């Protein structure tokens, strides 16, 4: 018999409905897997009592024939989501001990859909990072290794705990958030599926803010079908987020027909980066062939401003972060520094923020402060926002030509070793998001699908980018790609 | 554009983050690396292009201007490092 924690959402749901397993059984299997996976450092606040309580309630609902879409399915929640009465600290020391008095809309929607919360997942501090090395809880370790080499690898970031936990079967699925690639890059590094929906699909209310015009929540799952199920439960209009879209949420799962005949798939020439590993290039070509064989029409396209997406992002995201993170002042929640005799309120702010924020967060807050400061606002911030308009127009132009989806690599490499980038300058780390960040700037939906292994045995992902609000169609194209790629590899258990 | 140590110190001050003097040279150097990367944006012709305000063209919703919650002082103060007599306590601000 398959161990219950290794199931995906759809399989577990079907077994539950048939009465062949119970939510309590699934939840116990996951809690047990979590207990034995300390080496991955994925779960940082465990909530077994909440989990068992919700699992029992779910079993009762299933028995009564009143089961909502995710009834009884155990999931992990990224630490960025505020969860009532449970530590929520965005992996930052500045929110040490913070227990929200309220629940984020997305985690509430999941609870309403019957999902069982197992605990909170590690991440980069305030979601700022691409390797999960900036967390106050320490690094997350990728369950995948290079062949027989036991050097620990990054699961990617910032949703690294979510990625590692799903890939290692500690939960059936997890929530992530994506500001520049933080769902799609770790999904690719760990051989799982991750979708960032259109900006406005998921409410941001109760998600600790990084860059508000870019942040979106999304599911990280073991299959495209699971992504469809969980995304539907997570999204929908919320009056508490003024940017949340008042649009009907379709049934994404029934849209998974696998039929993509006649769909136009764009291949953007600007994503063919200098120095891109041959294996990534090959994977991309293979993915293109798979979609073609499934009946799609392949079209070469151009997104001319691609090169400027990362520099624009590294103005806009830090600018918004410097404003959002101004609230951490040692007054209302979290850490406050010990003050010396004669220290006033300014010293309290400065010492609190120096002690509470890690290095990368401090750097980004200060860059943001600089680009917004008097005399530089126009030259940096306004220019970046103009470039962002052009980047979005690039996509609008190709969609106007009839392109249905765009295929690109998800990342410029496979997972790298923890610590390998320590001596690199910050820009080298930022390059991890080169294929994903355009999608956030344009507000589009993007999905990463595992598509192959490199010669060291590490997973590689492909990204599909869709039209705004057409997640259903995008998921269907991803489903066709997933079926053709037939990726079934799992990390060998060493932890 | 190059950032010197005094500019780095000024930025740290504006951001209300204490940076020790001996850490300023490294900080200024990191800023220069990042700003050097950002300078690429100067290659783009942005004449006549509007700065993006909202990525999705939607009109913000309006609601009645009425009280929607309140009376939760305990909850508001529950996570404060120093709360006294129903207030947030901070070091003396007014002499």
Q: Please, which residues 69-88 of chain B have a Cβ atom closer than 8 Å to chain A?
A: 72, 75-76, 78-82, 88
Contact A9, A221 (CB under 8 A): yes
Nearest in space to A347 (alpha carbons), one of A335, A329, A363, A361: A329
Number of H helices, E strands in chain B: 3, 2
Give me the pLDDT at residue A67, please: 96
Answer whether A335 sits within 8 Å of B93, measured CB to CB. Answer: no
pLDDT per position in chain A (495 positions), as tens? 579 999 999 999 999 999 999 999 999 999 999 999 999 999 999 999 999 999 999 999 999 999 999 999 999 999 999 999 999 999 999 999 999 999 999 999 999 999 999 999 999 999 999 999 999 999 999 999 999 899 999 999 999 999 999 999 999 999 999 999 999 999 999 999 999 999 999 999 999 999 999 999 999 999 999 999 999 999 999 999 999 999 999 999 999 999 999 999 999 999 998 888 899 999 999 999 999 999 999 999 999 999 999 999 999 999 999 999 999 999 999 999 999 999 999 999 999 999 999 999 999 999 999 999 989 999 999 999 999 999 999 999 999 999 999 999 999 999 999 999 888 888 888 888 999 999 999 999 999 999 999 999 999 999 999 999 999 999 999 999 999 999 999 999 999
Answer whether A333 sits within 8 Å of B55, measured CB to CB. Answer: no
Question: Is the CB of residue B66 less than 8 Å away from at least one CB of chain A?
Answer: no
Question: Is the CB of residue A378 less than 8 Å away from at least one CB of chain B?
Answer: no
The confidence band for B1, taking pLDDT boundaries of 50, 70 and 90, is: low
Catalytic residue chosen out of the listed positions A158, A159, A203, A223: A158
Nearest in space to A187 (alpha carbons), one of A406, A401, A450: A450
Question: Is the CB of residue A446 less than 8 Å away from at least one CB of chain B?
Answer: no
Question: Is the CB of residue B67 less than 8 Å away from at least one CB of chain A?
Answer: no
Question: Is the CB of residue A323 less than 8 Å away from at least one CB of chain B?
Answer: no
Residue A324: CB atoms within 10 A of its CB come to: 18
Instruction: State the nearest Cα–Cα gap between B87 and chain A, in angstroms.
Output: 10
Give me the pLDDT at residue A349, please: 97
Answer whether A366 sits within 8 Å of B12, measured CB to CB. Answer: yes
Task: Name, in order, each residue with C-beta under 8 angstroms of A23's C-beta and a sequence gap of 6 or more.
Answer: A16, A54, A55, A56, A58, A59, A62, A71, A72, A73, A74, A116
Task: For residue A119, list its beta bridge partners.
Answer: A46
Annotated catalytic residue A78: yes
Average of per-residue pLDDT values in chain B: 93
Residues A175 and A123: their CA atoms lie apart, in Å, by 11
Superfamily of domain A4-261: Amidase signature (AS) domain (3.90.1300.10)
Instruction: State the nearest Cα–Cα gap between A115 and chain B, in angstroms.
Output: 26
Answer whether B17 sits within 8 Å of A427, measured CB to CB. Answer: no
Give tens-digit pLDDT for A1-51. Answer: 579 999 999 999 999 999 999 999 999 999 999 999 999 999 999 999 999
Contact A325, A363 (CB under 8 A): no
Catalytic residue chosen out of the listed positions A182, A203, A244, A322: A182
Nearest in space to A190 (alpha carbons), one of A217, A211, A169: A169
Who among A339, A387, A443 is closest to B41 (CB)? A387
H or E segment and range at residue B79: none
Instruction: State the nearest Cα–Cα gap between A266 and chain B, in angstroms.
Output: 22
Q: Please, which residues 164-223 of chain A have a Cβ atom closer than 8 Å to chain B?
A: 198-200, 213
Give tens-digit pLDDT for A156-206. Answer: 999 999 999 999 999 999 999 999 999 999 999 999 999 999 999 999 999
Contact A221, A184 (CB under 8 A): no
Give me the pLDDT at residue B59, please: 83
Residues A174 and A159: their CA atoms lie apart, in Å, by 9
Interface ipTM above 0.85: yes
Task: For residue A409, list its beta bridge partners.
Answer: A462
- Taking the CA of residue B70 as centre, how many other CA atoms within 13 Å lie in the half-sphere pointing to its CB? 3
Who among B14, B38, B52 is closest to A380 (CB)? B38
Burial A407-431 (b: 16+ CB within 10 A, else e): bbbbbbbbbbebeebeeeebbebbb
Nearest in space to A127 (alpha carbons), one of A7, A214, A38, A232: A214
Answer whether B30 sits within 8 Å of A363, measured CB to CB. Answer: yes
Who among A426, A441, A443 is closest to B30 (CB)? A426
> In which residue are the tokens 């106050």 written?
A136
Instruction: State the nearest Cα–Cα gap between B77 and chain A, in angstroms.
Output: 7
Q: Which DSSP state fits B61?
A: P
> In which residue are the tokens 């994503």 written?
A271
Q: Is A83 exposed, middle or buried (0-12, 13-18, 19+ CB in 10 A)?
A: buried
Instruction: State the nearest Cα–Cα gap between B28 and chain A, in angstroms.
Output: 10
Give tens-digit pLDDT for A111-150. Answer: 999 999 999 999 999 999 999 999 999 999 999 999 989 9
- Single pTM value for the model: 0.97
Answer whether B31 sits within 8 Å of A370, measured CB to CB. Answer: yes
Annotated catalytic residue A158: yes
Q: Provide the token pair at A119.
A: 């605990």
Annotated catalytic residue A323: no
Contact A449, A462 (CB under 8 A): yes
Burial A160-170 (b: 16+ CB within 10 A, else e): bbbbbbbbbbb
Question: Structural domain boundaries of chain A?
Answer: 4-261
Give me the pLDDT at residue A1, please: 52
H or E segment and range at residue B60: none
């Amino acid at each position: 018999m398959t161990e219950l924690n290794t199931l995906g959402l759809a399989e577990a749901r079907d077994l539950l409905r048939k009465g062949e397993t119970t939510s309590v059984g699934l939840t116990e299997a996951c809690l047990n897997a979590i207990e034995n996976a300390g080496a991955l450092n994925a779960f940082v606040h465990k909530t077994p009592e909440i989990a068992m309580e919700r699992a029992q309630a779910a079993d009762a609902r299933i028995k009564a024939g009143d089961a909502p879409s995710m009834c009884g399915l155990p999931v992990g929640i990224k630490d960025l989501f505020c969860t009532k009465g449970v530590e929520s600290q965005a992996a930052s020391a500045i929110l040490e001990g913070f227990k929200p008095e309220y629940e984020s809309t997305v985690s509430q929607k999941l609870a309403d859909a019957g999902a069982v919360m197992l605990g909170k997942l590690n991440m980069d501090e305030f979601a700022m990072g691409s390797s999960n090395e900036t967390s106050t809880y320490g690094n997350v370790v990728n369950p995948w290794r290079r062949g027989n080499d036991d050097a620990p690898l990054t699961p990617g970031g910032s949703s690294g705990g979510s990625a590692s936990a799903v890939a290692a079967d500690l939960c059936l699925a997890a929530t992530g958030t994506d500001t520049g690639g933080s769902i799609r890059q770790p999904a690719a590094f760990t051989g799982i599926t991750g979708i960032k929906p259109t900006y406005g699909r998921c409410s941001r209310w109760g998600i600790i803010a990084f860059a508000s015009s870019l942040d979106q929540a999304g599911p990280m799952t073991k299959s495209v079908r699971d992504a469809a199920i969980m995304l539907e439960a997570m999204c929908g209009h919320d009056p508490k987020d003024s940017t949340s879209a008042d649009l009907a949420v379709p049934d994404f799962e029934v849209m998974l027909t696998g039929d993509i005949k006649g769909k136009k798939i764009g291949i953007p020439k600007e994503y063919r980066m200098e120095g891109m590993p041959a294996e990534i290039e090959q994977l991309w070509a293979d993915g293109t062939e798979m979609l073609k064989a499934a009946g799609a029409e392949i079209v070469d396209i151009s997104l001319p401003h691609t090169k400027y997406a990362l520099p624009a992002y590294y103005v806009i995201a830090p600018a918004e972060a410097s404003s959002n993170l101004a609230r951490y002042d040692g007054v209302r929640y979290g850490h406050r520094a010990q003050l010396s005799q004669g220290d006033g309120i300014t010293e309290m702010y400065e010492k609190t923020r120096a002690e509470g924020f890690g290095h990368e967060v401090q750097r980004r807050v200060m860059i943001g402060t600089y680009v917004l400061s008097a005399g530089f606002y126009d030259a940096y911030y306004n220019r970046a926002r103009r470039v962002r308009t052009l980047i979005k127009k690039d996509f609008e132009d190709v969609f106007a030509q009839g392109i249905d989806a765009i295929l690109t690599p998800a990342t410029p490499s496979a997972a790298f070793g923890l610590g390998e980038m320590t001596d690199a300058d910050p820009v080298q780390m930022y390059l991890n998001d080169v294929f994903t960040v355009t999608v956030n700037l344009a507000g589009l939906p993007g999905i990463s699908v595992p598509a192959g292994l490199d010669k060291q045995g590490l997973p590689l992902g492909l990204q599909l980018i869709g039209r705004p609000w057409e997640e259903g169609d995008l998921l269907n194209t991803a489903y066709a790609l997933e079926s053709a790629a037939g990726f079934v590899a799992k990390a060998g258990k060493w932890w | 554009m190059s950032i010197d140590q005094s500019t780095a110190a000024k930025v740290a001050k504006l951001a209300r983050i204490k940076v020790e003097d001996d850490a300023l040279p490294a900080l200024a150097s990191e800023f220069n690396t990042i700003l050097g990367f950002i300078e690429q944006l100067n290659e783009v012709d942005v004449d006549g292009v509007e700065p993006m305000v909202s990525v999705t063209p939607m009109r913000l919703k309006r609601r009645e201007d009425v009280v929607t919650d309140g009376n939760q002082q305990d909850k508001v103060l529950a996570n404060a490092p120093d709360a006294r007599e129903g207030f947030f306590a901070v070091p003396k601000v007014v002499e």
